[in-house]
């Protein structure tokens, strides 16, 4: 969608080339009869180009994306942008206000896209977002964190068999790309099916900001905008390696107790490696949790307690790519060590 020649508006509010507008998009009403409105920043570049959305906090307690969007809005200048950026720091307003993942009636907004005009509350909200934002775009990035009680390695999810989704995912620059088209009703799945290829960024944990996650998310979004020729002010850096993984699984506790976790996001786990120990209240080991697979840790629990079935570590399986990932990780470690050494020499 060429943004130079056509009229562009959200909620009936026009945004001209070389303009930035802060718009409140009404999506529902509250129990107090007030409007439920989503804050939307539209940055329309002076030059023509694609239209993209970046959304955060579709799950109301996944806050880190809001910080990424904040930094993004600060960085992008309509004078130098080609195309249009629609930035939404908080999609799920009721969830954000109550610090919950869900909409009222415990509905997960990310299961109701593309929505229905006369549907239930979640469907109506999804419908407004889909019509006013998603359908006006050429591609999108949806920012998430792990669900409550879990922490994720920054990674990208999407339908990696879809060439345009794969291109976006690769450009984002995360090391791990998980092939997961998403369930029916999820924004990334429905947007992609509607011709708006969309990727999902997963990083960090609910209820907090992490500077590291914000930086990696911001860098990823800017990498994509730069790859799409929308933003040339950014110098994209390639990750030390990049793998597409097709299968991931949770290693689960078989016994109840206090969890002493050993695994950390981003590390390589080999079949049989110790993931953590489960202790009884006397501090004695009840059992050791070992990895049944070889792969890279993409998520861990942050809860100190476990019962049979508790997901402890989320592993993306590596098979053919394992030797290459091992080599790339070793190289990256060496480079980092050399950099630290050079810095400490420069100081002394
Ligand atoms: Zn989420």
Mean pLDDT by 10 residues, the chain (348 residues): 70 97 97 97 97 98 98 97 98 97 96 98 98 98 95 96 98 97 97 98 95 97 98 92 93 97 96 97 97 96 96 95 93 89 85
Å from CA of 52 to ligand 1 middle:
20
Å from CA of 59 to ligand 1 middle:
5
In a domain, 115, yes or no: yes
Same domain as 195, residue 80: yes
Q: Which domain holds residue 275?
A: 247-317
| Residues, CB-to-ion distance under 5 Å, ligand 1 | 59, 62, 144
Å from CA of 144 to ligand 1 middle:
4
- Nearest Cα neighbor of 85 from 131, 21, 143, 167 is 21
Å from CA of 314 to ligand 1 middle:
16
User: Rounded distance, CA 138 to CA 160, Å?
Assistant: 17
Å from CA of 102 to ligand 1 middle:
10
In a domain, 23, yes or no: yes
Å from CA of 321 to ligand 1 middle:
28
Same domain as 329, residue 298: no
Å from CA of 104 to ligand 1 middle:
16
Å from CA of 2 to ligand 1 middle:
31
What pLDDT score was predicted for residue 3?
Answer: 45
**Rounded to the nearest 10 degrees, how much is the dihedral formed by the CA atoms of 237, 242, 246, 248?**
-90
Å from CA of 287 to ligand 1 middle:
32
CATH label of the domain that carries residue 273: 2.40.50.100
For 259-303, the pLDDT digits (tens) are: 999 999 999 999 999 999 999 999 999 999 999 999 999 999 999
Å from CA of 278 to ligand 1 middle:
28
Å from CA of 47 to ligand 1 middle:
33
Å from CA of 100 to ligand 1 middle:
11
Same domain as 31, residue 170: yes
In a domain, 237, yes or no: no
Å from CA of 7 to ligand 1 middle:
33
Å from CA of 50 to ligand 1 middle:
26
Same domain as 328, residue 219: no
Same domain as 331, residue 299: no
Å from CA of 323 to ligand 1 middle:
32
Same domain as 251, residue 196: no
Helix (H) or strand (E) holding 46: none
25 backbone dihedrals φ, ψ, rounded to 5°:
-100, 115
What pLDDT score was predicted for residue 347?
Answer: 81
With b for 16 or more beta-carbon neighbours within 10 A and e for fewer, the 40-61 pattern comes to bbbbbbbbbbbbbbbbbbbbbb
In a domain, 233, yes or no: no
Same domain as 255, residue 191: no
Let me know the angle formed at the C-alpha of 256 by 250 and 260, rounded to the nearest 5 degrees: 70
C-alpha count within 13 angstroms, C-beta hemisphere, residue 106: 0
- Helix/strand/coil (H, E, C) string of 125-183? HHHHHHHHCHHHCCEEEEEECCCCCEEEEEEEEECCCCHHHHHHHHHHCCCEEEECCCC
Å from CA of 158 to ligand 1 middle:
13
Å from CA of 302 to ligand 1 middle:
16
In a domain, 232, yes or no: no
Length of the chain: 348
Å from CA of 344 to ligand 1 middle:
40
Same domain as 220, residue 200: yes
- Nearest Cα neighbor of 160 from 185, 194, 192 is 192
Same domain as 102, residue 170: yes
């Amino acid at each position: 969608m060429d943004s130079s020649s056509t009229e562009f508006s959200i909620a009936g509010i026009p945004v001209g080339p070389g303009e930035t507008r802060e718009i409140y998009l009404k999506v529902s009403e509250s129990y107090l009869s007030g409007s439920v409105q989503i804050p939307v920043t539209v940055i329309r570049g002076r030059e023509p180009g694609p239209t993209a959305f970046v959304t955060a906090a579709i799950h109301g307690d996944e806050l880190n994306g809001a910080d990424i969007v904040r930094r993004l809005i600060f960085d992008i200048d309509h004078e130098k942008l080609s195309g249009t950026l629609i930035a939404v720091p908080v999609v799920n307003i009721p969830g954000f206000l109550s610090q919950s993942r869900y909409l009222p009636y415990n509905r997960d907004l990310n299961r109701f896209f593309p929505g229905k005009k006369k549907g239930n509350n979640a469907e109506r909200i999804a419908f407004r977002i889909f019509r006013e934002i998603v359908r006006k775009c050429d591609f999108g990035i949806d920012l998430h964190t792990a669900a409550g009680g879990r922490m994720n390695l920054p990674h990208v999810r999407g339908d990696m068999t879809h060439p345009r989704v794969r291109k976006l995912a690769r450009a984002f620059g995360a090391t791990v790309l998980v092939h997961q088209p998403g369930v029916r009703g999820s924004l990334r799945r429905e947007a992609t099916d509607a011709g708006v290829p969309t990727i999902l960024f997963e990083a960090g944990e609910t209820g907090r900001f992490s500077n590291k996650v914000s930086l990696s998310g911001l860098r990823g979004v800017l990498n994509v905008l730069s790859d799409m020729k929308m933003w040339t002010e950014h110098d994209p850096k390639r990750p030390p390696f990049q793998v597409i993984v097709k299968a991931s699984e949770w290693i689960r506790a078989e016994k109840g107790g206090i969890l002493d976790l050993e695994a950390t996001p981003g590390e390589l786990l080999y079949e049989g490696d110790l993931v953590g120990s489960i202790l009884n209240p006397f501090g004695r080991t009840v059992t050791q949790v070992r990895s049944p697979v070889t792969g890279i840790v993409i998520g861990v629990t942050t809860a100190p307690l476990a019962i049979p079935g508790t997901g402890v570590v989320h592993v993306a399986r590596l098979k053919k790519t394992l030797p290459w990932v091992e080599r790339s990780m070793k190289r990256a470690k060496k480079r980092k060590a050399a950099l630290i050494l050079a810095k400490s020499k420069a100081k002394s």
